[in-house]
Amino acid sequence: MSTYYIGLSVTYHDSALAIISDEGEVLFAEATERYLQNKRALNCEPDQLFRIPKLLVQHCPNPKRVVIAINWRKKRPFYENIVKKLGFLSAPGLLKTGIKKLHSTLKNYQLHHMMACQRSSIDRAGLNLVRILQEYYPDCAIAFKDYDHHLTHAATACYGSAFEEAACAVIDSYGEHGSMAFYRYRNWKLERLHEAKGLSKASLGLYYMKITELCGFDWLKGEEWKVMGLASYGKLNQKLYNLLSSIIVVNGFDCKHPSEAFFELIAKLDEFKQHPDSPIEQMADVAYTGQVFFADLVTQLLNDLHEVTQCDNLTLAGGCALNSTFNGQITQRTRFKQVFIPSAPADDGCALGAAWLAYHEDSPLQQKPPQLQTPYTGSTIKDDAVKRLIRFNRSLAFQHLPDSVCAETARLLADGKLVGWVQGCAEYGPRALGNRSILADPRKAATQDLINEKVKFREMFRPFAPSILHEYADEYFENYHESPYMDKTLHIRKSMQNKIAAVCHVDGTGRLQTVKREWNPRFYDLIEQFYQLTQVPVLLNTSFNIMGKPLVHSLEDALTVFMTTGLDVLVVNDYLITKPREE
């Protein structure tokens, strides 16, 4: 009997779909934004009507039973009932409640909008999938499961890790009940130790969104990245730090608002609000201080988690697990010795977590040795698409290099060319990990400006990441530990900073991707060939997109970026494509 577990992430942002076989194998996992080419796919279903039939044919042949699992409880949480009854904009009776506190953290209409979208997304969850299954596979049995949002985050982190046992922290913006949850993971089971319940508790996800807003950026566009990049240029603003300390404190496993004067204190934060024309130093100080305060709070939470679990392995998930700056400091600032963060720790990753929970519920005894989950679970671009392009194209030059595509690309990179690199299955999660990447030689600092000016068109303060062969990483990074999904930022050794200047941030750090042959043989080969030519086992790796768009999905998307930017070379599988004339 063929049972398939289809996980859907139905948070209104970052929706995603994942498929697991009845043997527990991940067959497919991808965020909806890729297919739609619509960043974060706000308000879009993960089971897009026109896409589902093809996905089912490709990954779920002859299904006898399909379990649809979603990453949010269908039951309406208490605060939604309150809001529904009283309305957001006229709720004076809620002045002293947690709703009001959360309400004040963001602007009224933003919170109202978020909750309305969330509810509509949950109400629509799986409808398209059920309709298509019934139409195409009328004999297929369909079951439906819904799981606690934070439990699905925890499942993504723990089932995807190589740990047999771990402590797990989910630090998020919000779930059905609150914003954080903590678990003990062993024997393929997740035991909840604590969940922050009630909106009177502070949310570190919402806190970071507020800092993003104070820096003059837009959290709805996911611009928290910019805060981290900018923070490296800043220094501590003690007045802001003191104010933040009066608004949020850690108490055991909870973050709380300690003062009754909460609203007045939140209002005072606006004193630090920056605008696009604010001096960059001032913006950077807000970013730096916000980041330092965040790190101080999470350090306290994690130390508490270690004390309770006495386990040295940590898995981390939720939107706050995307904070690579802090992630790189965890083993130094806490007592945890190993840290695992999945490739998709935010809500797109929950689709896989939900599918895994459903699978393990059905197969509690079917346990395999734990192993690192590959991030390469998304769509492919087939050679046929390239062949069609060759047939009708009248301007580009093509080389088919099945035996030497890595060697030739490495030569071009060493020669200073900017390369769009598309191979195999796309990455699950926000980072380009060598399958949908723009690559460049990391040796010259000027390459940063070149990529910004010719390809990415983004702010100068945002760094580019190094992808490094694991065997050499300790030579280049202090306190090196593996970062398979570009999830940690570490200090580059002083002696190496000039050697890889284009990927060395202003504070001497780099958000590295560890590359091992067994994780991605072709990308490993490419970097190794580059190393043979330059004695540098590192490539500059940035996402294959232009600002404001998701990673490329189809050959047409890749060509659009290639033809409308200063990229010199496009490599798709074994095909190397160049423009008619050099610039």
> CB-wise, 202 or 502, nearer to Fe ion?
202
Minimum CB distance to Fe ion smaller for 168 or for 567 = 168
- In DSSP terms, 16 is beta-bridged to 9, 31
Of residues 213, 347, 487, 568, which one binds Fe ion by CB under 5 A?
A: 347
- Comparison of 349 and 466: residue with beta carbon closer to Fe ion: 349
Q: How far apart are CA 298 and CA 119, in angstroms?
A: 29
- Selected range binding Fe ion among 59-67, 235-243, 345-353, 454-462, rule: CB under 5 A: 345-353
> Least separation, in Å, of the C-beta of 318 and Fe ion?
6
Whichever of 152 and 543 has its CB closer to Fe ion, that residue is 152
Applying CB under 5 A, which part among 12-20, 342-350, 398-406, 525-533 lies near Fe ion? 342-350
In the complex, least distance from residue 149 CB atom to Fe ion, rounded to whole angstroms: 6
Q: Which is nearer to Fe ion, 317 or 577 (CB)?
A: 317
The residue (of 319 and 537) whose beta carbon lies closer to Fe ion is: 319
Site stretch for Fe ion (CB under 5 A), options 2-10, 167-175, 237-245, 354-362: 167-175
Smallest distance from the beta carbon of 127 to Fe ion, in angstroms? Answer: 22
Report yes or no: 79 and 99 within 8 Å, Cβ to Cβ: yes
For Fe ion, the closer of residues 174 and 340 by Cβ is 174
Q: What is the CA radius of gyration of the chain?
A: 24
Beta strand pairing call for 189-195 and 180-186: antiparallel
Start-to-end C-alpha separation, the chain: 58
Shortest approach of Fe ion to residue 172 CB, angstroms?
A: 4
At its nearest, how many Å lie between Fe ion and the CB of residue 319? 6
The distance of closest approach from Cβ of residue 9 to Fe ion in the complex, given in angstroms and rounded to an integer, is 9
Find the binding residues for Fe ion in span 169-208 (CB under 5 A).
172
The contacts of residue 526 (CB under 8 Å, 6+ apart) are: 406, 409, 410, 421, 434, 439, 539
Residues 458-517 that bind Fe ion (CB under 5 A): none
* Alpha-carbon torsion (438, 443, 448, 449), positive or negative: negative
Burial class (CB in 10 A: 0-12, 13-18, 19+), 95: exposed
Q: Which is nearer to Fe ion, 155 or 243 (CB)?
A: 155
Q: Which residue, 156 or 161, has its beta carbon nearer to Fe ion?
A: 156
Least distance to Fe ion from the beta carbon of 564, Å? Answer: 34
Locate tokens 């509810």: which residue?
A: 119
Cβ nearer to Fe ion, comparing 172 with 176: 172
User: Could you tell me how many residues of this chain bind Fe ion (CB under 5 A)?
Assistant: 2
Rounded to whole angstroms, the Cα distance separating 58 from 19 reads: 11
Q: Which of 511, 543, 541 is closest to 328 using CA atoms?
A: 511
The span of 184-192, 235-243, 251-259, 339-347 binding Fe ion (CB under 5 A) equals 339-347
Minimum CB distance to Fe ion, residue 38 (Å): 19
Task: Point out which span in 35-43, 239-247, 340-348, 531-539 binds Fe ion (CB under 5 A).
Answer: 340-348
Beta strands (DSSP E) in 33-97 are: 65-70
d(CA 279, CA 260): 34
DSSP notation for 133-157: HHHH-TT-EEEEEE--HHHHHHHHH
- Closest to 240 in 3D by CA, of 298, 285, 277, 296: 285
Taking the complex as a whole, how short is the minimal distance between the CB of residue 10 and Fe ion, in angstroms? 11
Contact present, 106 and 210 (Cβ < 8 Å):
yes
Q: Which own/partner contact pairs does 134-139 have at CB distance under 8 Å and 24+ positions apart?
A: 136/53, 136/56, 137/56, 137/63, 139/64
Position closest to Fe ion via CB? 172
- In the complex, the smallest distance separating the C-beta of residue 347 from Fe ion, rounded to whole angstroms, is 5
The 3-state secondary structure of 364-413, one letter per residue: CCCCCCCCCCCCECCCCCCHHHHHHHHHHCCCCEEEECCCCHHHHHHHHH
Return the number of the residue (225 or 398) whose C-beta is nearest Fe ion: 225
Nearest by Cα to 429 from 228, 156, 158, 217: 156
Write down the least CB distance from residue 112 to Fe ion, Å: 19
DSSP state of 493: P
Residue with Cβ nearer Fe ion (40 or 456): 40
Using rule CB under 5 A, residue 148 touches Fe ion: no
Residue 105 CB, nearest approach to Fe ion (Å): 16
| Residue 227 · residue 215 · CB < 8 Å | yes
Which region, judged by CB under 5 A, interacts with Fe ion, from 30-38, 101-109, 344-352, 546-554? 344-352
Q: Which residues bind to Fe ion, rule: CB under 5 A?
A: 172, 347
